[in-house]
Each structure stands twice: as C-alpha cells, then as structure tokens.
Amino acid sequence: MRKNHQHPRCKNYGTISKLIHLFESSLHYKLLLVMVLITIPPLVLLGAYSLYQTTVEISRAVESTKQNLIQNTLNLQQENLKSQAALIDAGLENVVNNIKILQSISENIFNNPEEYNRPGTITNILTDSQYGYYYSPPDHLPDTEISNVFISNKTKVTPKLLAELERLKHMEPVMQSFVSSNENVVAVYFNFKESAARIYPKLDFKKLVELQLFPPDLEVGNYEFFYSADEKHNPEKEITWTKIYRDITDRGLMITCNAPVYLAGGELRGVLGVDITMANIINNILNIEFEQPGAYAALITASGEVIANPEKLSPDTNPNPIASLLGRTDNPVFKEIGQKIREGESGCREVVLSGESKYLLYGPMGNSGWALIYVIPAHQITEPIEKEARSLIIEKNSAILSKISFGTLSILLIVTVFSILLSGNITKPVKDLTSGATALGEGNFGHVVPVNSKDEIGTLSVAFNTMSKQLQEMVLALQQKAMEQQILNTELADLNQDLESKVLERTSRLEEANANLQEALDSISAVEKSRRELLANVSHELRTPLMKIQGYVEAVRDGLYKDNKEFLRYLETIYLHTTGINRLINDLFDLSQLDARQSMHFTVTDLTPVFEQYFEEVSLFLEQKEINFSYSLDNTLPPVKVDPDRIIQVLENLVYNAAKYSQPGGQIQIFVKALADGVLVEVTDSGRGIPAKDLPYIFTRFFKGRGVNNPKSNGAGLGLAIAKAIVEAHQGTIGVESQPGKGSRFFFNIPVVPKGK
C-alpha cells in the first residue's frame, strides 16, 4: 500500500493557516491577543533600552582603542616610509653615479681617440636593411660583440661616425656590469646627435622596425630620451630624468636617466641613456607589503608624474588624482600637502580619495626631487578591532535577550489564564450573531437572531434583524433589474457586431488605397532624386571647362596674347576644352540611349576579325604614348549575337582608362578567350592600381577615384559606367581586380545568345 508523505514545509504552512483561522473566528482568542499586545510593549522597550546601553558602552571602548591603533599604525608606517625612501633614493643615486662613470669614459673616448683605436671591423658586422638604415643583427654577431649598433636612414654615414661607433665598444664591460648589477635597469646606450647609437644589451632592430615600433628614419632630437639632456633643454649639462613615456621598443612604459656628452671644444656629441621600465619599478621598488589589502605605495617624480601599481592606483585617479598633490588642484588640503612635498617635508594627512577616507603618508627621497607616498584606507586599519567589537556586542545582546524572553513567557502564561476566565460571558451573543450572518450568506435573508440583552450586543442584534429584512427587499428589486439589463445587452451585442463588420471593410479599403499612394510617391521621389543628381553632376563637369573657355576667349577678344604662337596656344586650349565638353555630351547621350534600351543593333557576329582590326588601330595609339602592348586572341571564338560597335566601345573605354594610369614604358595586355557559353575579354595594365576603397564605386557614374600616388584624375567619370551599361545590355557581366602599385585587371564576358535578344 502506498503511503502519502507530507513535506515539513507544507505541514508548517497548514499549522499557520489553522492558527490564523482560529483568531479570525473566535472572540475569545482576540481578547487573548489584545491582552498580550498590551503586556508585550513595556517588555520590548525595557529590552531595547538594555541592548542600547550595552552597545553604547562597548562602542565607546572600541572608539578609544581605534584611535590608539590608528596612531600607532601611522607612526610605524611613517618610520617605514622614511627607511624605504632612503633605500629607493640610494638606488636612484646608484643609477646617477653609474651614468656619471659612463659619461666620463665616453668623453675621454671622444676627446682622446688615439688611446682607443680599434681594428676597423665595424663595417664587417653592419647590415644594410631594405628601409635604408644600418644595424648589426644580434643573431649573427661574434661572441666578442655583446652590444650592437643602429644608424638611421636619415644619417649620413661617414668614416668618422663609424670609427666613433667602433671606439664605443670600449664601454661594453662597464655597460654590462651596470645592467647586471642593477635589477631595475634594462638597457644602457649612447645616442649620437646624428641619430646613430650603440646599445647594450643587443636589440633586434629589424624585428622592432617590422613591428612598427622602432622608426627606420629615427631622429633622436625629436625624442625626450635625447632632447631632455641637449643644449637647449639642459644648458647646465646636468644628469636629467625624462617623464614617463612609451618606449619605441617592446618594453612598454619607460623612464630614462640621461647624461650629455660634450667634446673638449664644448660641442654636444651625444647623450647617454639608462632605461628603467615601469614594470621593474613597480615589481622591484614598489613591492612593499602592507597589512591592509587596499594600501599601496607610489613614487612622485621630479616632473610630477605618479608611478604605482595601476590596479591599485586607478580607483584614486578619479575624481582626486594623486598627481594633484603637486599643486594642480583648488582643494586647500591637497594644495598644502603638495607644497610640503616640494619643500622636502614628511608628514601624514587624512584625505578623501574616490569618496573614501584614506591616510596619505609622504616623505622626500634625498635631493632627487622625488617623493615616496603611502596610501592606506582608514577603515582597513581599524577593521580587525571593529570585527571583534561586533562579536562582543552580539554575545552581550544574546544574554540580555535570553532573560527578556524568559520573563515574557511567564507573563504570557498568566495573561492566558485570566483571558479564558473573562471571555466566557462575552462570546455567547457574538456566536448567535455569527450564526445569523452565516444564514444571510447562504441566501436566507429572512433569518432573525434572538435579542437577550439591552447592552451594546443587544442593540447590535436588533440592528442585524432590521438589516436582514432590508436585504431581502433589495435582492428582489435587483433580480428584476438584472432581467431587464440582460435583454438590453442582447440587443446591443447584435448592433455592435453589424457596426464592427462595416468598420473593418472600410478600413481595409483605406489601407489598400494608402499603400498604392505611397508606392506612387516613392517612385516619383526616386525619379526626382536621380534627376537632381544628374543635373548637379553635369553642371559640375561643365562649369570648369566653360569658365576656362570664357577666360581664353576674353583674352583673345581683348588682345592679351603676346604673339601668334601664344594666340595659337589659346585657340588650342579652347579647342581641347570644347572637345572635352563635346565628349561629355556624347557620353551623356550614350547613357541616355542605353538607359532607354535604344541604339543597340544586335547581329550574330564572328568577333575575331572585329578584334584583330581594333588591335591594329590601338597599337598605334599606345605606341605614341610609349606603352608596350600585346594581345592574345583565341582562334575558336563562337559566333555571338552582339552590337559589334558597342563591344569595341567597351574595349576602347577600358584601354583608354588603362593608358591614362600607365607611365611610359608600362605594359597593357588584352586577352580574348572562348568560353563554353560565350566570350571572355580581359584588359590588364601595369599602372598605379586602384585603392581598395574605390573598387566598389569604380563603375558608378561620375565617380573619379584617386590612384595610388596619383593626383585627381581628369575626365567626367562616365567611361566605365558606359562600359558597364553596354555589357549589361548584352546580359553580360563586367568586373575589376586591382592592387595599388601593381596595376589593374578589367574583364567582361558576352553570352553566346543574350536572353530576349
């Protein structure tokens, strides 16, 4: 036999429903509830006051402890900041001292070249790249070459420059020692002012140029890692630091320490550079560990830039950037902190960053002009003690609640016994009224309840009996009105159905008429747009030659020519522009005829002799332009139904277009091939080619694109459009393929028998 198991949640829901029903149906339980509600509030208020007092006392103690903890933490971090600043300053000073050593060595090399002679083998390791720069490839250097060189394609390579580049090889051991002994330094190099360099460790310049990072036409004077130390920007000839910049190698963000190198006569020969990546500074210098997860350290350089872990710094760069500490702010607190940093003072202030209170500790780093700052979220310092305080409050409040709960249960028991004794004499008349109300609900509107007293409940019973009689009379009246309303509704439904049918029919007719009207309007709009575009393009193409003709005619009329030779030149110019206008008009006439499907005379034709005759004529034209011409004509062309003159017009337009964009000595080829279903014609040239962005519009009317390195082309831009119209009139297709700098290939095909012709 199958047992029915009920879910515990369903049981709980049923119990609650029964209790609700019990309170709703029993006056006895309502009296009990009222007495309980009168008793409970004082107990709740007493308990709440006790909880409040406990919480206040614990909070006071916690607040005092928090202040002491914050002060001690900040004092310890301030001492830590001073020691870290000293260590970082020592590291920066080490970089400066090392670059001074390299500066002294390089000045000695340039000023005493006879002491640093080399065998002159640098030309054996230099490679000339396709982009015109010289470099020593790192993968093909002997083991004795631990650095390599680069010479920009803007640099004039002289024996003196090559000799100096080779002498700098004497610096390799010092460069190598400098980089290997300092984990923050990634490269040491010397940049000549002529844009040549020797660098350690070796760089793959070819790869960097191919990645479009390192410019083959490098001009070092345009880059801060050179000009920050040149005569103009550093007349004091001091060691300088650049601002943070993105390196022209693949090493990302960089900061560079520079040292100028001067000849004995006072001429700047070049600049030494020591590269330190931001990643190395963050990983090796700013890797300070804090107990607070949101705390971080940052460096402020002498130029005012901020170096820090970007994941931690980014939330504090908006709306109050740390960089504003250098005075670029109207906030008086930040302005004061920035002033103290510039004056070399240490300190701590509570500030608001990203809407959160944080402690900002700051201190100088020796005489470098740099500063070290710590940013510590205030709430993370006190978070441990706050967690402990919350646990203590919960523990104390739980004990108080236990005592209050015991007292409340005892009082509720007493109230329950008292309410049972009181409610017996009150509920009997109420039950009678309940029975009468139930009878009314079941439709017995003539039911009468007994009246046994003259108190409020007796008065209520009399009123109930009067209401019962009135309800009986009202129900009879409503039933009569309901019958009348039902008859009226039936008549209205019939009328609405007939009216709805007529409205639907009329709406359908109106929608059909609107659709026809919109279609007509769209057609008129398209025709009008085409007409406006044609007038605009024709006006544009006619305006320029007409203005030129007018100018030369007026010059002839006014006798402004110097001699007969100039007079003839004016007439020749007028003739050329008149010919161009005539050609434009003929092209427009051709297009109008093609659009109207006129002037096409189809006949079954063998195209072989037609093409051969054209090839003889066009070869003379191309020979005059010094363009090489060749063709290939299939001897098995099938007869096709075409207009031969129009097909030759297509070929003429394509050849003319190819010749226009070909230089003397160029090549134009024509291929005519037999296909299974027609004839394929191809015209290829070695001209400048067509940019990819112009290809989709090349057959559009009045479109005049720009070839690769080609000024704006002449002509009206109708030749290719006419060719396309003629081919499509033969139910053929036309297309183009092109690569800038490598020429173009136009092609079209003619079906054997065009459909419908």
* pLDDT > 70: percent of the chain: 78
The topology under which CATH files domain 116-278 is Beta-Lactamase (3.30.450)
pLDDT of residue 599: 67
The pLDDT of 209-213, averaged and rounded, is 94
Q: Are 325 and 338 in contact (CB under 8 A)?
A: yes
Binned at pLDDT 50, 70 and 90, residue 670 comes out as very high
- Contacts of residue 505, defined as CB under 8 A and 6 or more positions apart, other chains included, come to none
Q: What is the pLDDT of residues 489-524, one digit of tens each?
A: 777 777 777 777 777 877 787 788 777 777 766 656
pLDDT the model gives residue 263: 95
Per residue in 496-506, is it b (16+ CB within 10 Å) or e — as a string? eeeeeeeeeee
Q: What is the pLDDT of residue 422?
A: 60
Evaluate if residue 712 carries a pLDDT over 70. no
Query: Per the confidence metrics, is the pTM higher than 0.85?
Result: no
Render pLDDT for 319-350 as a digit per residue (tens, 0 to 9).
444 544 444 456 677 777 777 777 778 888 88
pLDDT tens per residue across span 608-652: 999 999 999 999 989 999 999 999 999 889 999 999 999 999 999
Q: Can you name the CATH fold of 600-751?
A: Heat Shock Protein 90 (3.30.565)
23-30: average pLDDT = 64
Ranges in the chain annotated CATH 3.30.450.20 = 116-278, 282-383
- Contacts with 332 (C-beta within 8 Å, 6 or more apart), sequence order: none
Q: Which of 502, 104, 493, 93 is nearest to 272 (CA)?
A: 104
**Residue that has been written with the tokens 């100096």 in this structure:** 164
At residue 714, the pLDDT reads 60
In 3D space, the residue among 292, 356, 348 whose CA is nearest the CA of residue 320 turns out to be 356
Mean pLDDT of the chain: 80
Distance CA 166, CA 109 (A): 11
Is residue 56 over pLDDT 90?
no
Q: Which pLDDT score is estimated for 351? A: 82
Where residue 13 falls among pLDDT bands split at 50, 70, 90? low
751: number of CA atoms within 13 Å, CB side? 13
Most confident region among 333-337, 533-537, 544-548 by mean pLDDT: 333-337
DSSP structure class, residue 132:
S
The token pair that represents 421 in the structure block = 């004794």
* 407-446 per-position pLDDT tens digit: 777 777 776 776 666 665 666 666 676 777 787 677 776 6
- Residue range 683-698: mean pLDDT, rounded: 90
Position 703 confidence tier, pLDDT thresholds 50, 70, 90: confident
Q: What is the pLDDT of residues 219-252, one digit of tens each?
A: 999 999 999 999 999 999 999 999 888 999 998 8
Six-digit token string for 111: 């000023």
Class of domain 282-383: alpha beta
* DSSP 8-state class, residue 638: P
In the structure, what pLDDT confidence band is assigned to residue 378 with cuts at 50, 70 and 90? confident
Going through 602-659 in order, the beta strands assigned E by DSSP cover 603-605, 628-633, 640-642
Residue 76 has pLDDT above 50, yes or no: yes
Amino acid at 340: K
CA distances (Å), 283 to each of 307, 309, 310, in order?
11, 9, 12
Question: How big is the chain by its Cα radius of gyration, in Å?
Answer: 50
